[in-house]
Structure 1
Amino acid sequence: MGPLELADFERAARGRLPAELWDFVQGGSGAERTLAANRDAYARHRLRPRTMVDVSATDQGLTLLGSPLSTPVGIAPMAYHRLFHPEGEVATARAAGRAGALMVAGIFASRTLESIAEAATGPLWLQLYWLRHRDALAAVVERAEAAGYRALVLTVDAPRIGRRLRDARNGFAIPAHVRAVNLDPALMAASHRADEGSSGLADHAREQFDPTLTWSDLAWLRERSSLPIVLKGILTAEDARLAAEHGVDAVVVSNHGGRQLDGAPASLDALPEVAAAVPPSLPVLLDGGVRTGTDVALAVALGARAVLIGRPVLWGLAVDGEHGVARVLDLLKAELDDTLALLGRPRLTDLDRTVVDG
């Protein structure tokens, strides 16, 4: 029998991956309180089903920044997919396209931006970190726009990398055969070695991430691309309002999968505050802790236009490449269909705050 829920992929992936790579995927920062909170937040909510509604057909489609999507479930930006399968991000892009889902490729992708775009049949966005080397950042942005990417997602919660103790204890570094191929190797050298008590990723971030990023820097990015700008890592109404004031096109409520500030709120808990602080026309997305179609429905009801999933994609990739990722997305789509029908809200647009108890 094949996987029936995402937890089946989680168990299978754990059996296939080396311990240090499993810790890299699963771990959070500090005592991992925020990592746990991301899942716990969903369990605190109850749904209010309505009956005697025609649910013979359901519709979870939407349009996001001008792109039609078959599902509100997309793929969050993650680095180095080739750690989990030789085809890496190309396999992930194919699976996303099959599902009619958004994919956000990472600036530290292990396949070229162009090869990912060639494999994709659905919309692609590109995630960015604010690098000290502006010429390298500008070059990646230019290539992404030329290759057909449809938005830039700037991660704003990582002026430095959180204290990821599992990686530090393991001395985790990216193996030499897997590279962030869209950047000069000289910029990535630190990620392939680890100092004692640290990790290659933390050492690399200290060298390459620019901690001086402020709201005024968005003008620099906007001058270099006509693509919509999405900010990822928003957790407060204050920052949500500033994002809207500075003309961003969407925000992602995210605590980086519990991998940055330990003690930050669960993404789901921060979502209503952020959604209430921006104009209805400004899309709010969410990542962090989504594991079922019911989780997706809850997030949409609380204000998200769409959700992004991270770790489950890597589980699927490790288990069965493109087909594994496609199955992960198909499971979530099927569960969401069931949830819409059983809630008595057959269309994604029917989900609002009245769906949630309390």
Structure 2
Amino acid sequence: MSAVSLDDYAERARAVLPPAVWDYVAGGSAAEVTLHANRSALDRVAVLPRVLAGVSTANLGTRLLGRPYAMPVGVAPMAYQRLVHPDGELALAAAAGAAGVPYLASTLASTPIEQVAGTGAEVWFQLYWLRERALVRDLLDRVVAAGCRALVVTVDVPVLGRHPRDLRNAFRLPAEVIAANLPGGRDALAHAGAPGLSANDAHTDASFAPALRWADLAWLREHVDLPLVVKGVLDPRDAVEAVRTGADAVVVSNHGGRQLDGAPASVTMLPEVVDAVGDRCQVLLDSGIRGGTDVLRALALGAVGVLVGRPLLWALAVGGEPAARDALALLAAELRDALTLAGCPDPAAAGELRTVAVS
């Protein structure tokens, strides 16, 4: 039976994935309070529909970072996609390309950026700041040469959040899954498991610079002539500083509940960030998006678009590129219904809707 909601893919993925891989993707940090808050906070946003608006079928087209896309959705950056399917990033990027939405390739992808960009998708590259600036420069040169459309800097990982599920599972990467964008010598830590330890956490902490500053972002702005997106902003003051430093967009995000546990749900901070930056940059949302109604909620609160992560990874796990295509088509159908029922002819009109907080 075909999936009728994105949650269907989660149920099916859990049945086919090894338990440790399921936990790695599904889990959050510490007690997972923020992970669960993302979902409950979205459910508390009620959207007031407009009636007699003369809308029979909404048009989903939008512009993100000055480029046209088929809907206000991007595929969130997610590491090591070959963990869930042999085709990994190539399949999910191809599905994004077919759907007409941007694909955000992770620094920790299990497929090199050159191959991902070769799928024909519109690729934005997500950068984790590496400890050696020379490696950052080399990676940026590859990103530009590959034809990536934007650079997305993740700023909420000074250190990796503590993930109890991975510690209990002594999680490590299988031999065939590597951090394909990093020098090969860094992979040994990610494959060396030990009881009570996460090899992936050890590898990440050894690779990433722990003390990124605004000056580093300014250096990046000067050295890369691509639209710059700052991902991982919750405090409006940081959003304002990102704009001052040259960001073209910010992503309001708590990393899907995988970093600071006890941080607010992303959608809770979205209106304050939108108010703080005004029309000086675009604002996107991620963390907890599970369907078209959630996209409508984000648009009504002032976002220009959302990034969707885990649901698309579950679809990839279930059936590779065809299932990922189906999941994106299902999301588009849900969003078209939600916009039409709300009386909105297009995503931009959703920004005029009122929302009500419900308990």
Deviation of residue 57 (structure 1)? 3.0
Q: Deviations along 1:53-104, whole A, 9 cap, x unmatched?
A: 2112311111111211001111000111111111111111110011111110
**Pairing of 1:251-290 with structure 2 (within 5 A):** 251-290=250-289
- Residue pair 1:96, 1:120 contacting (<8 A) in 2 also: no
- Residue pair 1:194, 1:203 contacting (<8 A) in 2 also: no
**Pairing of 1:107-186 with structure 2 (within 5 A):** 107-121=107-121, 123-186=122-185
C-alpha distance in structure 1 between counterparts of 2:141 and 2:278, whole Å: 30
Q: Deviations along 1:298-324, whole A, 9 cap, x unmatched?
A: 001101111001101110110110111
Opposite residue 26 of structure 1, the aligned amino acid is: A
Q: TM-score, normalised to structure 2's length? A: 0.97
Opposite residue 213 of structure 2, the aligned amino acid is: T
- Residue pair 2:221, 2:246 contacting (<8 A) in 1 also: no
- Residue pair 1:9, 1:319 contacting (<8 A) in 2 also: yes
Q: Which residue matches 1:99?
A: 99
- Residue pair 1:45, 1:357 contacting (<8 A) in 2 also: yes
Q: Which residue matches 2:328?
A: 329
* 3-state SS, counterpart of residue 251 of structure 1: strand
Q: Deviations along 1:129-188, whole A, 9 cap, x unmatched?
A: 111022222111111111110111111000111110000110001111111112111123
C-alpha distance in structure 2 between counterparts of 1:58 and 1:335, whole Å: 11
- Residue pair 1:152, 1:229 contacting (<8 A) in 2 also: yes
Residue-pair matches, total: 357
Opposite residue 99 of structure 1, the aligned amino acid is: A
C-alpha distance in structure 2 between counterparts of 1:79 and 1:197, whole Å: 22
- Residue pair 2:252, 2:266 contacting (<8 A) in 1 also: yes
* 3-state SS, counterpart of residue 57 of structure 1: coil
C-alpha distance in structure 2 between counterparts of 1:19 and 1:57, whole Å: 42
Spell out structure 1 runs of 4+ moving beyond 6 A. none
Deviation of residue 198 (structure 1)? 2.1
Deviation of residue 114 (structure 1)? 1.2
Could you say what the CA RMSD is over the residues aligned between the two structures, in angstroms? 1.2
**Pairing of 1:231-242 with structure 2 (within 5 A):** 231-242=230-241
C-alpha distance in structure 2 between counterparts of 1:62 and 1:345, whole Å: 13
Deviation of residue 265 (structure 1)? 0.5
Opposite residue 111 of structure 2, the aligned amino acid is: R
Q: TM-score, normalised to structure 1's length? A: 0.97
**Pairing of 1:29-68 with structure 2 (within 5 A):** 29-68=29-68
* 3-state SS, counterpart of residue 240 of structure 1: helix
Give percent identity, aligned residues only.
Answer: 50
- Residue pair 1:287, 1:308 contacting (<8 A) in 2 also: yes
Q: Which residue matches 2:86?
A: 86
Deviation of residue 353 (structure 1)? 5.3
Opposite residue 275 of structure 1, the aligned amino acid is: V
- Residue pair 2:274, 2:303 contacting (<8 A) in 1 also: yes
Q: Which residue matches 1:10?
A: 10
* 3-state SS, counterpart of residue 154 of structure 1: strand
Q: Deviations along 1:210-254, whole A, 9 cap, x unmatched?
A: 112100111322343211211110001110111111111111111
* 3-state SS, counterpart of residue 153 of structure 1: strand
C-alpha distance in structure 1 between counterparts of 2:354 and 2:102, whole Å: 25
- Residue pair 1:110, 1:178 contacting (<8 A) in 2 also: yes
Return 5+ residue gaps in structure 2 as ranges.
Answer: none
